[in-house]
Amino acid sequence: MMIHLNPCHRWKVKLLFAALAAGGLAQAASLDPAVVRQIDDVVGQVGKDRLPGAVVLVARNGETVFRKAYGWADIDRRQPMEPAVSMPIGSVTKQFTATAIMMLAEEGKLSLTDSVAQHLPDLAPQLRDVSIEQLLTHTSGVPDYTRQWRFLLLDRGDEIALPDLLKRIKGKSLDFMPGARFEYSNSNYVLLGAIIEKVSGEPYGKFMEERIFMPLGLGNTAYAGYERAASMRAKGYDADNGKYSKPKSISMSMAYAAGGLVSTVDDLARWDAAIASGKLLKGESWQRVFSPARLQNGEPSNYGYGWGLGKLQGVTEYSHGGEIYGFSSFVARLPEQGIYVAVLANASGDVTTELLAQRVAAVALGKPVPHYRKITLSKSTLEEFAGTYHGDEGTVRTVKRDGDHLVVERSGAPKVEIFPYSDSAFFVRDSLSQAEFVRDPQGKVVELLLTRNGNVTRNARVATKKWWPL
């Protein structure tokens, strides 16, 4: 679940993020010492003054080769973070929920083409047109309940029963026709959790424990509140530019099957090893999990069943992040290289776990991503890039100069600030996303290339019409 807050009270904490490291390598296998130094450098560059603490794990072909804790589990008590710490994983929960749905599908208890209304008939008539697969791929059009003012303003740490949670989805009009586009919505996975309960006859947490966690030996993974083992817990914080405060309180029952699990980096590595060895599901089912959804126009999305699909330094990457009050996470799989990276951090808000995990994965891959440094371009040079661009996926983007950098705007999306690191290339802060402007042989800017998750979008510049007075 992705939730951002702006708390009223914050205090400054001086971190020893890069200097303080607890724990060490988990097993005899290890990375080259130079690679270890590179990972430490990445954590220092990305995490310093941005995260109270974090745990980073790298596995290769099912074996942990790097496992290290940084910073503080509790700032006030000066309690160092430890590698075995347990934390909420937020939306990384979705890949577990999706796997449970696939297990029930293999058992013939449901079909991915089933209408949601077939299993949850009392919710809303419009769900007759929404399939289970569209919930899995966020192409359903069901609005996200976590964006409701009631969720953002009124909810505290009280438990909420599933029927009451479903009332927050019931009767809401769809945001778009099912299958028309991709739009991330936590409501999709709440509905999937309810379907798991309806079809299996068991509570979500119990089903996950009995069918996934215990068979795979994930002793520290559980639906929050139903942990089976006592493990160290970190204190969560809301982060804002190096300042940390107590986050809003929320019951994990509010996150439910969309973001209610807790885990450790060690259990997440075991989870990845189980996926890589084909446990729980048949090979064709796992292949389907990691295949992009097809939209009504035939275009693929960048999301499978509980996993984002993309590229990192030119190789296939399956990944997902999670953020829930006080905590954030990111996991990345590079299946062709057998590399897995998990990052858990005890902060939400102004956090960088995605960037940290992807930079660590790139180091493990042997293709570190450079740390871009902003350069200064003249006002006239920046103005040359300003204009309107038509994307090959049908979108229209507008580029404007904003002081010493550019802003890219797209209808229906937040504006993105981009900063120059060469005379034609720009980077996005706290991201691996890049923008590059292409000139024709005469030096005229004719195209904008946007790279995100290794996927390149080409955007042709639209000629500016000149109107001459009569």
Asked if pLDDT for residue 9 goes beyond 50, the answer is no
In the prediction, which pLDDT does 370 show?
86
- Point out the least confidently predicted range of 176-190, 220-234, 296-310: 220-234
Q: What is the percentage of the chain residues whose pLDDT exceeds 70?
A: 90
Q: Would you state the pLDDT for residue 188?
A: 98
More confident residue, 225 or 67: 67
Output the average pLDDT for the chain: 88
Pairing of strands 347-349, 237-240: parallel
**Please, which pLDDT band fits residue 15 given cuts at 50, 70 and 90?**
very low
pLDDT in tens, 21-43: 433 333 435 678 889 999 999 99
Q: What is the 3-state secondary structure (H, E, C) of the chain?
A: CCCCCCCCCCEECCCCCCCCEECCCCCCCCCCHHHHHHHHHHHHHHHCCCCCEEEEEEEECCEEEEEEEEEEEECCCCEECCCCCEEECHHHHHHHHHHHHHHHHHCCCCCCCCEHHHHCCCCCHHHHHCEHHHHHCCCCCCCCHHHCHHHHHCCCCCCCCHHHHHHCCCCCCCCCCCCCCCCCCHHHHHHHHHHHHHHHCCCHHHHHHHHHHCCCCCCCCEECCCCCCCCCECCCEEEECCEEECCCCCCHHHHHHHHCEEECHHHHHHHHHHHHCCCCCCHHHHHHHCCCCECCCCCECCECCCCEEEEECCEEEEEEEEEECCEEEEEEEECCCCEEEEEEECEEECCCHHHHHHHHHHHHHCCCCCCCCCCCCCHHHHHHHCEEEEECCCCEEEEEEECCEEEEEECCCCCEEEEECCCCEEECCCCCCEEEEEECCCCCEEEEEEEECCEEEEEEECCCCCCCCC
- pLDDT given at position 149: 66
Give me the pLDDT at residue 469, please. 46
Give pLDDT, residue 470. Answer: 41
Q: What's the pTM?
A: 0.86
Average pLDDT of the segment spanning 375-382: 95
Q: What is the mean pLDDT of residues 302-313?
A: 95
